[in-house]
Amino acid sequence: MAQRAVKKNAITSDGIRSGFLSHLTHTIGRPLEFSSMVERYHALSHTVRDQLMEQWIQAVESYKNKNVRVVGYLSAEYLPGPHLMNDLQALDATESCREALVSLQVDLDDLAREEPEPGLGNGGLGRLAACFMDSLATLGVPAIGYGLRYEFGIFRQEIRDGWQVERTDKWLQFGNPWELPIMDASFEVGFGGRTETYTDDSGLVRWRWIPGRKVRGVPHDTPVPGYRNGFVNRLRLWSAEAVDSFDLSDFNAGDYMGAVRQKVESETISKILYPSDDNDAGKRLRLAQQYFFTSCSLQDMVRLHKLQGKPITEFHQKWSIQLNDTHPSIGIPELMRILLDEELLGWEEAWEITQATFGYTNHTLLPEALERWSLPLFAALLPRHLEIIYEINERFLDRMRNRFPGDADRIRRMSMIGEEGERTVRMANLAVVGSKAVNGVAELHSDLLKQSTLRDFYEALPDRFSNKTNGVTQRRWMMLANPPLSSLINEAIGTKWHTDLWELRELERFVSDSAFLERWRRTQEATKAKLSQYIEETQGIKTDPQSIFDIQVKRIHEYKRQHLNALHILSLYCQLKGNPNVTFTPRTFIFGGKAAPSYVMAKLIIKLICTVGDLVNNDPDVKGRLKVVFLPDYNVSLGQRIYPAADVSEQISTAGKEASGTGCMKFQMNGAVTIGTLDGANVEIRKEVGQDNFFLFGLTTQDIDQITQKGYRPQEFYERSSKLREVIDGLSEGRFSRGDREVFRPMLDQLLNVDPYFLLADFDSYTSTQAQVGAAYADAKRWNRMSILNSARSGKFSSDRTIREYCSDIWKVPVPSSSGAPKNTTPNPQTKRRSK
Ligand X SMILES: *Cc1c(COP(=O)(O)O)cnc(C)c1O
Point out which residues bind ligand X (CB under 6 A). 79, 123-124, 127, 554-555, 635-636, 639, 661-663, 666
Measured from the CB atom, the residue of 46 and 594 that comes closer to ligand X is 594
Query: Of 216, 560, 563, 603, which one is the catalytic site residue?
Result: 560
686 included as an active-site residue: no
Q: Give me the least distance between CB of 381 and ligand X, in Å please.
A: 31
Nearest to 490 by CA among 502, 476, 480, 504: 504
Query: Is 563 designated active site?
Result: no
Cβ atoms of residues 256 and 347 within 8 Å: no
- Written as one letter, the residue type at 147 is G
Alpha carbon separation from 40 to 96, 118, 194 (Å, rounded): 17, 19, 52
- What whole-number distance in Å separates Cα of residue 408 and Cα of residue 398? 12
**Active site includes 170?**
no
Q: What are phi and psi of 151, to 5 degrees?
A: -70, -35
Q: What is the DSSP track for 756-801?
A: TT-HHHHHHHHHHHHHHHHHHHHSHHHHHHHHHHHHHT-GGGBHHH
CB 63, min distance to ligand X, A:
30
Please state the φ and ψ torsions of residue 406, each to the nearest 5 degrees.
80, -5
Query: What minimum distance in Å lies between the beta carbon of 665 and ligand X?
Result: 8
**Helices 13-23 + 94-102 axis angle, to 10:** 60
Q: How far is the CB of 663 from ligand X (least distance, A)?
A: 2
The strands making up 424-426's β-sheet, listed across from edge to edge, are: 372-374, 424-426, 417-418
* Under 8 Å between Cβ of 148 and 116: no
**Cα(299)–Cα(347) distance, rounded to whole angstroms?**
19
- Catalytic, 306? Answer no
| CB nearer ligand X, residue 42 or residue 555 | 555
> To the nearest whole angstrom, how small is the minimum distance from the Cβ of residue 550 to ligand X?
15
Known catalytic residue: 156? no
Other beta carbons within 10 angstroms of residue 580's beta carbon come to 14
Active-site choice (554, 563, 594, 793): 554
31/38 Cα distance (integer angstroms): 13
Q: In terms of CB distance, is 329 or 552 closer to ligand X?
A: 552
- Are 319 and 72 in contact, with CB atoms under 8 Å apart? yes
By beta-carbon proximity to ligand X, the closer residue of 221 and 278 is: 278
Cβ distance to ligand X smaller for residue 79 or 381: 79
CB of 278 to ligand X, least distance (A): 11
Nearest approach in angstroms of CB 41 to ligand X is: 22
Q: Long-range contacts for 170-177 (Cβ within 8 Å, ≥24 apart)?
A: 171/116, 171/117, 171/118, 171/119, 174/38, 174/42, 174/116, 175/42, 176/118, 176/220, 177/41, 177/42, 177/45, 177/46, 177/49
CA–CA distance, 795 with 799 (Å, rounded to integer): 10
Q: Which is nearer to ligand X, 135 or 737 (CB)?
A: 135
Show Cβ contacts of residue 75 under 8 Å, excluding neighbours closer than 6 positions. Answer: 125, 126, 129, 145, 146, 147, 324, 325, 327, 328
Pick 121 or 140: Cβ nearer ligand X: 121
Residue whose CB is less far from ligand X, 83 or 316 = 83
| CA gap 1, 819 in Å, rounded | 10
- CA-based nearest residue to 730, from 599, 550, 511, 566: 566
How many angstroms separate the Cα of 370 from the Cα of each of 467, 679, 768? 19, 20, 36
In whole angstroms, the minimum distance from the beta carbon of 173 to ligand X comes to: 21
- Asked if 281 and 274 touch (Cβ cutoff 8 Å), the reply is yes
Smallest separation, CB 503 to ligand X (Å): 23
Nearer to ligand X, 372 or 555 (CB): 555
Give the whole-angstrom CA distance, residue 676 versus residue 798: 20
Question: Measured from the CB atom, is 118 or 124 closer to ligand X?
Answer: 124
Q: Which of 236, 363, 607, 793 is labelled catalytic?
A: 363
The one catalytic residue in 611, 662, 674, 767 is 662
Which residue has its beta carbon closest to ligand X? 663
Q: What is the nearest approach in angstroms of ligand X to the Cβ of residue 571?
A: 23
User: Of these residues, 127, 498, 555, 657, which one is catalytic?
Assistant: 555
Q: Shortest gap between Cβ of 122 and ligand X (angstroms)? A: 8
User: Which DSSP category does 120 fall into?
Assistant: B
Taking the CB of residue 781, how many other CB atoms lie within 10 A of it? Answer: 12
**Nearest distance in Å: CB 592, ligand X:** 9
Helices (H) and strands (E) in the chain, counts: 34, 23
CA-closest candidate to residue 181, choices 215, 217, 154: 217
Question: What is the torsion angle, in degrees rounded to the nearest 10, for the CA atoms of residue 623, residue 628, residue 631 and residue 637?
Answer: 90
Mapping DSSP onto H, E and C, the string for 474-491 reads HHHHHHHCCHHHHHHHHH
Query: Between residues 151 and 633, which has the closer beta carbon with respect to ligand X?
Result: 633
For residue 146, which of 59, 45, 239, 216 has the smallest C-alpha distance? Answer: 239
Burial class (CB in 10 A: 0-12, 13-18, 19+), 167: exposed
**CA-based max dimension of the chain:** 92
Looking at the Cβ atoms of 635 and 677, the one nearer to ligand X is 635
Residues annotated as catalytic (active site), given as ranges: 363, 554-555, 560, 662, 666
